[in-house]
Structure 1
Amino acid sequence: MKYLIINREKLILPLKNIISIITSRPIIPIINNILIEVNNNDIIFKSTNLEIEITTFLKNIENKYNFSITIAGKKFYNICKSFPINSNINILINDNNQVIISSKKCKFIMSTLPSINFPTIEYWEGQLEFFLTNKILKMLIDATYFSIANQDVRPYLNGILLKIENNILSMVSTDGHRLSVCNILINEILINYSVIIPKKSILELLRLLKNTNDIVKIKINNNNISFNLKYLKFTSKLIENSFPEYIKIIPKIYYKIIKIDRILLKNALLSIAILVNERTKGVTLLFNKKYLKILGRNIDNEQAEDILNIEEEYNNTKDNIEISLNIEYLIDVLNTLKNKYIKISLIDSFSSIKIEDIIENNKIYLIMPMRI
């Protein structure tokens, strides 16, 4: 018989970080469980869905026994969370390989599965290693993840491209209707490399990242990528496919480039969105020399209209351009950019529109036009 006594608050956070990838319909029963390994004064918690593996650590825990078990992850987390705040939780493994979880007069008995059967990603050598802060990595993902396709038949669209070329790190995503690009300069000298990280992995990683300067160690090879955070390791398999050459689809010449207030434009679009077609989400933008006219209408012949002043024109080869776009795609971009003014570049009514920040030039967004 082996046991462990641990404070509820110390236990809740590592469990919370790993249980979200546990699926309701696991391919094999044991991945509904989490692996708990107690070794001297350290505890390792691990979960997997066979595509993602998350490992968290607790160090300097008072303990007398070493053991390794797997237990139903979400049930165990919910049981521990149900105990009073700051209470001590007793975890006892009996001779029948059952786990008895108790605090004060409350007790739960759970079954286990052998830890030797728990699937883990075997150790792998990295072909590339580098470091970013939590804040920078989170910014890169925040700037691009919303353009990832959702279960597209083309696998390369169902993830984010992480590309390193000439010491510039880029994250890029596209669903075929829009493109998001975010670039940063890396101070380390690195080899050119590119991989595609699946959407599910990106969303899970984003949930774990904080807006801090804590260092993240990133290791990559052709099949896997890992992110070592403070007391947490996140490993994901990669999409084995080639990403389209996105740079070729970004136009070099635009005939109308304007500066406009991002917040005013976002608020106008949020209002117009009330009456746009719920299926197509289409909105029409009419760019003139001095103003931008926004029009939205739906199948009930209801319509909304707003007019915004254009702050400045950088190029005006064409006086008027009318273009129809998905209003949600526009709002996604405006929510991502943070400064007051943005730059919008146009060619004609049938070509993609480019949106950038006036001050920060490391983000590029393209949105394809649509027919209404």
Structure 2
Amino acid sequence: MLKIIDKYILKRYLTTFSVMLLMFIPIGIVIDVSEKVNKMIENKVPFKEIANYYFYFIIHFANFLFPIFLFLSIIWFTSKLANKTEIIAILSSGISFTRFLRPYIVGATIVSFGALIMGFFLAPKANEVYNDFRYTYLIGGGQEEMRQSSDVFRQINDDEFIYVSNFNMISKTAFNFSLEKFKGDQLEYKITANRIKWNPISKDYSMFGYTKRTVGQLGDVIEKSDKKNAKFKFDLDDLTPTVYVAETLSYGDLIHFIEREKRRGNANINVYLTVLYKKYSVPVSAFILTIIAVAVSSMKRRGGMGVNLAIGILLAFAYVFFDKIFGVMAEKSTIPPIFAVWIPNIVFGILAIFLLRNAKR
């Protein structure tokens, strides 16, 4: 009897979540197309690039909003069970509420594992393509955002600093490049270039509009060239704006990248740590949101399913609001990133315990 009920609830859990996800993804695509179609036409974006963008947009969209979809899908089908008094019948047969919750936890485990795999391996590639497309082809919002957030100034070791004004991930080209080499507190030389391009075959950089100024005691030595190839100690990721780096790295690459940036004393380290910790916190939210959704929707209310959905939407957007607010605080404030990232789960975890106890009564 219990196995039949478990399979029934688990099937409804996964099916409703999948259907809601598949139902809202086309809506997200339509909205995105309506916002960007004029810019795509104006910039004559190739159809191949558009198709590639929207393939990865689906992954980006699903990864970004899956907590809301999961929460609302559980509210939906559990409210239907409650309205048909199926839950009352199950509990009246002697099954405890905790036992009734078991197939929901199994479903949350499956969804959480999928979210973990997506966050570790699929979402980074999707975020890379998503950001590349916006910053390369879109005027207004995309390129404007890129101008505001693309300035990169980094210390690559104890004596060398680099700067670029913006970076194109597709062409592997950075603009307004400069490298300053110090000896103690004194500038030893400075290299500048209008643009610098990574050459993946030769594993070096081509600088265009190259100038090198070497500081001497009797006078500076200036070297100029229209084009010059050179190898440097920094990696391609060092030229990449903060908005790109952490979001586009797989789990293993992100770990190594953070370790390297810690050694360099990178001022943006909290941004990278926030992305890392969210890879764990988001899958855990599947369990918390599942418990809250079941506790809220398992009671048959006078207003019917509409009341449960209204409460569910309110709680879902409250969770997303908390997640965004504390995500920004983790990046910009002195609050430890791991604490700020986990605050929404802690707060809503306490809420889940309270609602679960209330539902058991």
What TM-score, normalized by structure 1, do the two folds share?
0.21
Which structure has the highest helix share of the two? Answer: 2
What TM-score, normalized by structure 2, do the two folds share?
0.21
Which structure has the highest strand share of the two? Answer: 1
Bigger relative contact order, structure 1 or 2 (CA pairs below 8 A, ≥6 apart): 2
